[in-house]
Amino acid sequence: MQQPIKQTPALPALVAANGAVAFVLEVAMLVAAFFWGFRSFPAPWGIIIGIVLALVLVVFWAYFMAPKAKRRLGWPVQPLLALLLFVVAAVALIVVGWTILGVIMMVIAVLNTALTIYLGRQGRGQESTGQQEPQPGETEPEK
Would you kindly state where each structural domain of the chain is located, as residue ranges? 14-127
d(CA 136, CA 38): 50
Enter the pTM of the model: 0.76
pLDDT digits (tens, 9 = 90+) for 4-56: 555 566 688 888 999 999 999 999 999 999 999 999 999 899 999 999 999 99
**CB distance 79 to 117 below 8 Å:** yes
The predicted pLDDT at position 47 comes to 95
d(CA 78, CA 76): 6
Distances (CA, A) of 14 to 47, 82, 131: 38, 19, 18
